[in-house]
Amino acid sequence: MILTKAQYDEIAQCLVSVPPTRQSLRKLKQRFPRYLNGVGRNGAAPVLLELANEVDYAPSLMARIILERFLQEHEETPPSKSVINSMLRDPSQIPDGVLANQVYQCIVNDCCYGPLVDCIKHAIGHEHEVLLRDMLLEKNLSFLDEDQLRAKGYDKTPDFILQVPVAVEGHIIHWIESKASFGDECSHQAYLHDQFWSYWNRFGPGLVIYWYGFIQELDCNRERGILLKACFPTDIVTLCHSVA
């Protein structure tokens, strides 16, 4: 879809003045009814994707908002989150074929959000957990994994708990958490609050591996019991080594 510079500037200026909320996007839709006009001319054209790109909004998030609005207008009761998530994962469930195609194009072309990205993140995370497991086995370290811990009744657990603690760079380690991501300040603080300090309270000091690196200054809780590494440590000291 082609816009004149004046049209683009008008939309951009409007976006600057409103927060990225659903209410704001409804106002934008009323002011710029391009989606309905676009799909009316050609239902196969990626109208919703182009609209999301032009207003610099994540395509999958735009698709979610449009889908929610569609279901609200065509259903007697507001759609549940599980229903919407199911339709985003499988757009063929959407009762309107044109909208299903528009949502599908948004999902497969979104590199940051959406069910496809979630699947990729999950697969990469699982791959690195398997890699960590293999390294622990190679070092002959006895451990319990997340599934085994949950079977014992733990509801919030790290990826691996060492049945016999080890030392890394002079710090005792009881558990290891694998993060297949880069540790930036925002995500690390969230992990500390939601996960790492809970693990520390239950199991003692531990190690977090950010496989794609982290901000060096974030590794500031070593003395309190949370050590950060960007790879599997090579200088592990076991109880057997200490005895020897």
pLDDT at 25: 59
Q: Measured between alpha carbons, how far is 2 from 10 in angstroms, rounded to an integer?
A: 14
3-state helix, strand, coil in the chain (%, to 5): 55, 15, 30
Q: Measured between alpha carbons, how far is 210 from 184 in angstroms, rounded to an integer?
A: 10
213 CB-near residues (< 8 Å, 6+ apart): 182, 183, 230
pLDDT at 165: 94
In tens, the pLDDT along 157-206 reads 999 999 999 999 999 999 999 999 998 989 999 999 999 999 999 999 99
In tens, the pLDDT along 232-243 reads 998 899 876 544
End-to-end distance of the chain based on CA atoms, in angstroms? Answer: 72
Task: Please give the average per-residue pLDDT across 78-91, as a whole number.
Answer: 91
- Write phi, then psi, for 165 (nearest 5 degrees): -60, 155
CB 84 within 8 Å of CB 67: yes
Strands 160-168 and 206-210: unpaired
